[in-house]
Amino acid sequence: QKEVEQDPGPLSVPEGAIVSLNCTYSNSAFQYFMWYRQYSRKGPELLMYTYSSGNKEDGRFTAQVDKSSKYISLFIRDSQPSDSATYLCAMSGYSGGYQKVTFGTGTKLQVIP
């Protein structure tokens, strides 16, 4: 079993829809929960991160972490065609004095105008 599981999609939604992306994990030591966005032929870029459980909102994006269920989500409101990308969940905890990051497989999202 992988430490981080993510539905690979692809996910196709109409413009303006609410998008829900999810990951589950097995390692209880994870403390930081991140969402990265990766456009085609580019490196991943950090969207937002959460420390421990709770919600965090940034504009149209909301990240939720439920450590008791080992489940994290990213919601995108009023989705735009420019949101079309692969979304990677990632998690980290301290290992050897640094934050070792483990990524999910990514969910490919297409927002149709």
Residues that bind another protein (CB under 8 A): 4, 6, 8, 32, 34, 41-46, 49, 51, 88, 90, 92, 95-106
Residue 1 or 41 having the CB closest to another protein: 41
Beta-carbon neighbour count of residue 56 at 10 Å?
15
Question: Min. distance of Cβ 36 from another protein in angstroms?
Answer: 8
Minimum CB distance to another protein, residue 113 (Å): 25
| Shortest Cβ 108–another protein spacing (Å) | 9
Q: Which two tokens stand for residue 101?
A: 């990051």
